């Protein structure tokens, strides 16, 4: 006689046949099909069917009376007041609770009277059904991650560190690294976060190498065909990066003169400025006034140049380091989620990315950071909305497309493998992205840089999105913009 799992007796409104309620000589159904059929029948239906098919003799009347009582208990009104039991189907992510209190997670395969079978990784793991207390459908790893993250405050570093370990166990390295970015915003010198970051980068590299080695080799023809279908990563030469002078020019436009920026202006540049703009009312005409301007700190000289509008001389000014706004872009947006989630080879970092292509090599290099920024700065979706909306940062398409589609003003197109970057508008990453856009200089300047994004040179000409001409802007008075 096969022993039925004890938890099956506890199913709501479900009578499990025992040896004294069966026809003499009959046994409990042992096949998977029969047991699952009994297990999954609607509560009251299952009772009636068992009463009709399995019970005879004097006990029939008693069991029928019991079934009638159960029928009254199973009324729709009573059923709505109880928690509905969700039964797993093959492929569901489940959590199996055992009699000793331990829990095991994996993908559900099947269940019979002897075993509950799940896959952990790629290995099937049969679990003795008599030791199983409950099977709970928990959704995929990302859904669990979202639920767990909503219960943790952004400043609860110990719990966030535990969450990073949880993500690492599931090889969700991009999400783990993003959480570490948030942790280090609150505790820049947290030793655990630093050590974890190094370990996660190594694990991610190892995983990527294993994926390459794991490509099918038994059929060379099939292997070559599959490799040609894989997204190809663009080389730096194909992509085209901004030059040092172009990068420096963006720095000049974004420099915050009140943030003790390191500005270098050579004497000959000041002399040219005094000569070319001698007729401007802000430019001193006396020898004493000119000498006084030459002795001023470089930031004050640059302020006068901004007010005069000497744009042809901006390229001769040198900015050492990063303007505060561009540093925020580099650390919270570019390194925080743009490269890890948007610029992957399978997304906007591959040769098949369409018109919005981003570079994913040497991600901390200035050339990468500023080139990706300029591409986003000039990119507009087909509706005409800018990727970065400096006047209304929360309407920026690049930020909106990071939200769940149901919450986004501009939902991300439905593509395979896409997952939202932000859980909601309260997500710390979303808030920091808005803060970054607000930190940029306004009114936003049109950088005088000649650059053709790779999406225009290599992208799909029929793509629904692309770099569109910026809407005409009314001219402002000199001095109100740089």
Q: From first to last of its 482 residues, what are the pLDDT tens digits of the chain?
A: 555 565 555 554 444 444 444 444 444 444 444 444 444 443 344 444 444 444 444 444 454 555 444 444 444 333 333 344 457 778 778 889 999 888 888 888 998 888 999 988 667 889 998 999 988 887 667 667 777 887 898 889 999 998 998 888 888 888 888 888 889 888 888 888 888 888 888 888 887 776 655 544 334 333 333 344 444 555 555 668 899 999 999 999 999 887 756 899 999 999 999 999 999 999 999 999 999 999 999 999 999 999 999 999 999 999 998 999 999 999 999 988 888 777 555 566 445 555 788 887 777 889 999 999 999 999 988 778 899 999 999 999 999 999 998 999 999 888 777 788 898 999 999 999 999 999 999 999 999 999 888 766 554 444 434 444 444 444 344 445 78
User: What's residue 374's pLDDT?
Assistant: 96
Task: Tell me if residue 238 falls in helix, strand or coil.
Answer: helix
CA dihedral sign of residues 78, 84, 85, 86: positive
Six token digits for residue 355: 């018109």
Distances (CA, A) of 144 to 140, 158, 416, 450: 6, 19, 20, 46
pLDDT of residue 112: 87
Report yes or no on whether pTM surpasses 0.75: no
Instruction: Look at residues 353, 102, 337, 370 and name the one whose alpha carbon lies nearest to residue 251.
Output: 370
Strand partners, 123: 120
Three-class DSSP category at 134: strand
Helix (H, G, I), strand (E, B) or coil at 114: coil
Residues forming a β-bridge with 98: 132
Are the C-beta atoms of 103 and 97 separated by less than 8 Å? Answer: yes
CB-CB contact of 328 with 313 (8 Å)? no
Q: In b/e form, how buried is each residue of 271-296, taking b as 16+ CB within 10 angstroms?
A: eebbeebeeeeebeeeeeebeebeee
pLDDT value of residue 284 = 95
pLDDT at 239: 67
For residue 480, what pLDDT is reported? Answer: 56
| Interatomic CA distance for residues 440 and 394, integer angstroms | 14
- Is residue 378 within 8 Å of 461, Cβ to Cβ? no
């Amino acid at each position: 006689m096969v022993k039925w799992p004890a938890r099956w007796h506890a199913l709501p409104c479900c009578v499990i046949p025992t040896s004294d309620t069966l026809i003499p000589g009959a046994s409990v159904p042992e096949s998977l099909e029969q047991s699952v059929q009994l297990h999954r029948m609607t509560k009251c239906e299952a009772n009636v069917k068992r009463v009709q098919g399995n019970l005879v003799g004097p006990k029939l009347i008693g069991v029928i009376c019991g079934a009638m009582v159960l029928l009254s208990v199973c009324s729709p009104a009573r059923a709505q007041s109880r928690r509905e039991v969700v039964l797993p189907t093959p492929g569901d992510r489940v959590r199996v609770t055992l009699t000793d209190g331990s829990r095991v997670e994996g993908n559900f395969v099947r269940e019979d009277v002897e075993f509950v079978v799940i896959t952990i990784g790629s290995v099937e793991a049969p679990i003795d059904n008599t030791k199983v207390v409950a099977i709970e459908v928990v959704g995929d790893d990302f859904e669990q991650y979202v639920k767990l993250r909503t219960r943790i405050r952004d400043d609860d570093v110990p719990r966030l560190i535990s969450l990073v370990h949880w993500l690492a166990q599931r090889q969700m390295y991009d999400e783990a690294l993003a959480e570490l970015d948030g942790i280090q915003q609150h505790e820049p010198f947290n030793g655990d976060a630093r050590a974890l970051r190094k370990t996660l980068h190594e694990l991610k590299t190892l995983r990527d190498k294993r994926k390459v080695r794991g490509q099918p080799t038994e059929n060379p023809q099939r292997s070559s065909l599959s490799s040609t279908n894989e997204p190809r990563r663009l080389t730096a030469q194909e992509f085209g990066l901004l030059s040092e002078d172009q990068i420096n020019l963006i720095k000049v436009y974004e420099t915050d003169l009140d943030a003790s920026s390191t500005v270098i202006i050579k004497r000959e540049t000041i002399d040219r400025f005094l000569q070319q703009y001698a007729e401007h009312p802000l430019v001193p005409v006396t020898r004493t006034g000119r000498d006084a301007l030459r002795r001023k700190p470089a930031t004050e000289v640059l302020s006068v140049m901004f007010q005069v509008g000497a744009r042809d001389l901006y390229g001769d000014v040198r900015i050492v380091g990063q303007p505060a706004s561009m540093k925020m872009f580099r650390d919270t947006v570019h390194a925080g989620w743009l490269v890890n989630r948007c610029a992957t080879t399978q997304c906007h970092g591959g040769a098949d990315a369409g018109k919005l292509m981003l570079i994913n090599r040497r991600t901390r290099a200035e050339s990468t950071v500023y080139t990706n920024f300029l591409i986003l700065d000039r990119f507009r979706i087909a509706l005409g909305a800018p990727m970065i909306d400096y006047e209304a940062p929360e309407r920026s398409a690049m930020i909106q497309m990071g939200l769940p589609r149901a919450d986004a003003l501009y939902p991300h197109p439905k593509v395979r493998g896409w997952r939202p970057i932000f859980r909601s508008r309260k997500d710390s990453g979303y808030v920091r992205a808005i803060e970054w856009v607000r930190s940029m200089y306004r009114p936003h300047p049109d950088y005088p840089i000649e650059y053709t994004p790779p999406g225009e040179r290599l992208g799909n000409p029929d793509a629904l999105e692309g770099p569109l001409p910026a809407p005409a802007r009314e001219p402002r008075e000199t001095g109100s913009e740089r």
